[in-house]
A and B are shown apart, each in its own frame.
Chain A
């Protein structure tokens, strides 16, 4: 191809003989160039082939190594997943099995207190009431543990959720506490809808509101301010109370399971509520934090990302 191109392109203005010589010369020199090129090319090609072959071999070896590593990783992941599943099932069945003996303790103490309590002396009555109180505490502990383990096993389904309905549900479930504490609950005028998990959001709101009602000052009725804001990326829920507040050193710790800052006598609780909030928020890929000073109430803020809120339901 290259040769043809050269011949045609050469300007042919000299006499025919000179032209012919010139053409032949050029032709020969080009030919040798081409030969040279060809030989160099073939050497290069051979080297190239060798290199390619080597590279291919190395690539294959790497591929095998990657596959091996991937296989190991998959094995590890599945081992971890199994261990986690086992632990979750274990938590569930343990908290579950604890109910049977508890039912016996509570059931029979109920029967005794109804039928035989007037034959007890004062001390016996006091001790007996301790048993009943303790078994009730154990009951709430088991209930909360079951809630937590159910949450761990929960496969979230996101759907378009009317948050107002969830808020109303939560308020209904807590109506007894609200009445008992003479609490004021302030709600925003407009409550948005968004695509999220109904169950998880309800867990989050229930526990935050419950805490706001429980940890109130002795001489002040709880005032809880719930705010809900939605922008293009997030939905932000804040629950602000006028309660006893939380020292800064505990702002992270309070989200751990069983972490309590008060005795059962001061404020009843199981130490699981905020752990449930944290887990639920994590499942929704959001974040939760508290800002608070002792004596000046606390504000818990939950930020949940909303993805493709215009899409159909997942």
Chain B
């Protein structure tokens, strides 16, 4: 079996972070989850800048879970930057947001989001989402070449 995928979770709300991490544990998934608490941190991590320059400790993510509503540099800005940069543009980016707004959906797909998921309101819903992400993106989907 291949190694569990490395996930970068871009999320500023510490409660949503806790719920997501708990949902991964509850779904018995053993992925290594790295955290970025805002847009700048997300870009620093992806490009291996400043405190994330140690690639041993902070490996390039196999997949990115991206919240849209972030303070300062927004999730859409992060998405644009990633999808415009040759080295990292193939990393699948899953938008994970509470917004169903048409504008957000349109922009996300226009900028190259690989999937768009709406955060469920209940915890059991969260577990379900995390399981389905794992089933599809970590096992069914064939990863892009590095």
Give A contacts to B, CB under 8 Å: 92, 96, 99-104, 106-108, 110-111, 139
Contacts and interface: CB of A to CB of B under 8 A. Distances in A.
Interface of B: 13, 15-16, 18-19, 22, 98-99, 101, 119-124, 126
A59 B126 CA distance: 71
B19 A100 contact: no
Nearest to B13: A100
Given A99-B121, A100-B13, A139-B121, A107 B99 contact: no
A108 B121 contact: no
Nearest to B98: A99
B121 A104 contact: no
Contacts of A106: 121-123
Given A103-B119, A110-B122, A96 B15 contact: no
Contacts of A103: 15-16, 19, 98, 119-121
B123 A111 contact: yes
B99 A108 contact: no
B121 A102 contact: yes
Contacts of B123: 106-108, 110-111
A96 B99 contact: yes
Contacts of A108: 15, 18-19, 123
Contacts of A111: 22, 123
A71 B101 CA distance: 34
A210 to B, nearest CB: 20
Contacts of A107: 15, 19, 122-123, 126
20 contacts: A96-B99, A96-B101, A99-B121, A100-B15, A100-B98, A102-B121, A103-B16, A104-B13, A104-B19, A106-B121, A107-B15, A107-B123, A107-B126, A108-B15, A108-B18, A108-B19, A108-B123, A110-B124, A111-B123, A139-B121
Contacts of B15: 100-101, 103-104, 107-108
Contacts of A104: 13, 15-16, 19
B121 A96 contact: no
Given A99-B98, A106-B123, 11 more contacts: A100-B13, A100-B16, A103-B15, A103-B16, A103-B119, A104-B13, A107-B15, A107-B126, A108-B19, A108-B123, A111-B123
A102 B123 CA distance: 11
Contacts of A102: 121
A14 to B, nearest CB: 98
Residue of B18, B121, B122 with most chain A CB atoms under a 10 A cut-off: B121
B136 to A, nearest CB: 23
B98 to A, nearest CB: 5
A266 to B, nearest CB: 26
Nearest to A92: B101
A139 B120 CA distance: 12
Nearest to A103: B121
A111 B22 CA distance: 9
A131 to B, nearest CB: 14
Nearest to A101: B15
A188 B42 CA distance: 58
A96 B22 contact: no
B131 to A, nearest CB: 16
A106 B124 CA distance: 10
Contacts of B126: 107
B141 to A, nearest CB: 27
Contacts of A99: 98, 121
A139 B124 CA distance: 16
B106 to A, nearest CB: 15
